[in-house]
Structure formats: C-alpha cells, structure tokens
Amino acid sequence: MARSTFVYVTYIRTTPEKLWSALTDPAFMTQYWFGNHCESEWTAGSSWKLVSGEGQILDAGEVVEADPPRRLVIRWQHQTRPELKAEGASQCTIDLEPSGTAVKLTITHSIERERSMLIEAVSGGWPKVLSNLKSVLETGSVALQDPYPA
Amino acid sequence: MAERRHDTDLLFKALADRGRRRLLDLLHQHDGRTLNELCEHMDMTRQGVTQHLAVLEAANLVATVRRGREKLHFLNPVPLQEIYERWIAKFEKPRLKALSDLKRRLEKADG
C-alpha cells in the first residue's frame, strides 16, 4: 500500500539515557516543544497524548513499543483539525543509537496513504522541535522560542 | 550556539555542488527513492550518483532506510533548519523578504 513517510535525523552530544528522559519528561519537553508536552506511562499499550500549554489535546494515541533508552513507537492520531483527524492513525518511530560521543536520533513518521496532509503538517514541526531539542541538550537553551517567528 | 565545526564544514561542502542540490530537490519532490529511481533523473553515471549520495549522507542531509532489499533515500531537513536558525532567523526577515520578492519580480520580468 502507498504510504507517506518522513525521516528526520539529528546527532546530539548527550547520552541515550539523557535523551530518553528529554523525550519522555513533560516538564523538560515544554522547553523545546514550544510549550507542548506529552503525557504517557511510556510502556507498551499505555495511552499517549500531545498536550498544548493551554491544555488542548493536539494528538492522541498509544505507545506501541517502548524499549528505553533505544526505541519508542507511538500510534499517533491528530485531534484538532477534522481533515487531519479523518486520515486516521499514523505511526511515529523514535530510534536512539549511540554514535561516538553523540546519540543518533531518528524519527520516522509515516501513514498508510499517499500525500497525507497529516504528514505534511508534522513535517513543518519536527525539524524545529529536533533542532531545539539538540540545542537545549547541548547548550542549555533553545534556538527558537516561537515556532512561527514574525 | 556551539557548533561542531567539522559537521558544519561537511554540510556547506555538501551543498556546494549543483548535482547534490539537484538530488536534494528530487527528494524534496518525492521522498523515499531508491538509487535507481534517482539515477533516472540525473545526467551522470550511477557511480557518480552513489558518490554524491554518500557526501549528502555524511553531512546528514540524506537519511537512508532499508526496506527489504531496497535502500530508500529521504531528505533530512534538520541540518537546513539549523542553518536557518544560525544564519537567517537572526537577520531582519522582512527586509530580506522584500529583497527576495524584488529579485523574483525583476528576474521574472526579464525572462
């Protein structure tokens, strides 16, 4: 079946344990995810949601696989825009691999349909979020405060 | 922002080639392509395309995923986002936009 996929890779000078914690700790997440955070037990089968600073549920689903500090797979369905929600669930796989003094972080986000609007929408967000995450882990501060600077 | 000089050098070097920029454009149009699919659109040998892809991968501008026997190539925009933040966002955006709009209009009028 045709599918839409995006792959994002960044190398972050940190340890897999610290990176895993940065990806799963809600308070830390708000620093680099423009005020948003995820809520989950982070075990296979537990529910997962991405919540805005105002408490709105942006995306929801469940953890399909959790292997700390190596791999996280999330079934991910958008919630706020009807046309994106109608596309159904996507799958987001997060892989962490040690690479020298850094960790290679790979995000693979895909959905079983061609020209997905959801994948198009998240594609604008992931590079900004990952770039901020790298910056906050390596230097202690984010590069971008606002996802859409004027 | 601290940056690894080595990584930044690889990135700009990778971008400093017309063939490699063409490969990035091809992946932007349609992501997840095999070497064979990319070769169809490139006016160079298969070996040349392979070498350019290796440079792009070393600079982290291309990510590869194995799917069965195939190796699929994806445009990884994360380093471009970092260039944007490092070199563009800090300058005055409205003026840059006015300038690029003007350039586009003038070049269109010429052609």
Q: Prior bond to A82 cis, omega within 30? A: no
- Interface test with chain A among B60, B78, B90, by most A beta carbons within 10 Å: B78
Does the beta carbon of B63 lie under 8 angstroms from any beta carbon of chain A? yes
Asked if residue A37 has pLDDT above 80, the reply is yes
Residue A84 C-beta-side C-alpha neighbours within 13 Å = 16
Q: How far is CA B62 from CA B20, B53, B72, in A?
A: 10, 7, 10
Q: What is the pLDDT of residues B70-99, one digit of tens each?
A: 999 999 999 998 888 888 777 766 677 777
Confidence of residue B1 (pLDDT cuts 50, 70, 90): very low
Say what the pTM is: 0.83
Å from B110 to nearest chain A CA? 31
**Long-range contacts: B83-86, Cβ < 8 Å, 24+?**
B83/B11, B85/A131, B85/A143, B85/A144, B85/B1, B86/A143, B86/B1, B86/B3
Q: What is the pLDDT of residues A62-97, one digit of tens each?
A: 999 999 999 999 999 999 999 999 999 999 999 999
- Please choose, from the candidates B79, B73, B85, B76, the residue with its C-alpha nearest in 3D space to the C-alpha of residue B1: B85
Å from B85 to nearest chain A CA? 7
Query: Which H or E run includes B63?
Result: strand B62-67
Arithmetic mean of pLDDT, A113-139: 88
- Please tell me which of the candidates A7, A127, A130 has its beta carbon nearest to residue B63: A7
| pLDDT score for A145 | 66
| pLDDT score for A2 | 66
Contact A106, A11 (CB under 8 A): no
What percent of chain A has a predicted confidence (pLDDT) above 90?
A: 75
| pLDDT score for A1 | 43
Arithmetic mean of pLDDT, A133-147: 80
Enumerate the residues of chain A whose CB falls inside 8 A of the CB of residue B32: 5
| pLDDT score for B2 | 44
Å from B9 to nearest chain A CA? 15
Å from A76 to nearest chain B CA? 21
What percent of chain B has a predicted confidence (pLDDT) above 90?
A: 61
Question: Which residues touch A90 (CB under 8 Å, ≥6 apart)?
Answer: A75, A76, A77, A109, A110, A111, A116, A118, A119, A122
Enumerate the residues of chain B whose CB falls inside 8 A of the CB of residue A8: 63, 76-78
| pLDDT score for B27 | 96
Does the beta carbon of A150 lie under 8 angstroms from any beta carbon of chain B? yes
Cβ-Cβ pairs closer than 8 A, A with B, add up to: 54
- A121 backbone φψ class: left, alpha, beta (φ>0; ψ -120 to 50): alpha
| pLDDT score for B23 | 98
Q: What is the ipTM of this complex?
A: 0.76
In this structure, of A71-75, A123-127, B9-13, B59-63, the range with the lowest mean pLDDT score is A123-127
Asked if residue B4 has pLDDT above 90, the reply is no
Q: What is the C-alpha separation between A125 and A6, in angstroms, rounded? A: 12
- Please tell me which of the candidates A108, A130, A144 has its beta carbon nearest to residue B78: A130
Does the beta carbon of A110 lie under 8 angstroms from any beta carbon of chain B? no
Does the beta carbon of B37 lie under 8 angstroms from any beta carbon of chain A? no
Enumerate the residues of chain A whose CB falls inside 8 A of the CB of residue B7: 11
Contact B61, B79 (CB under 8 A): yes
Q: What is the pLDDT of residues B41-52, one digit of tens each?
A: 999 999 999 999
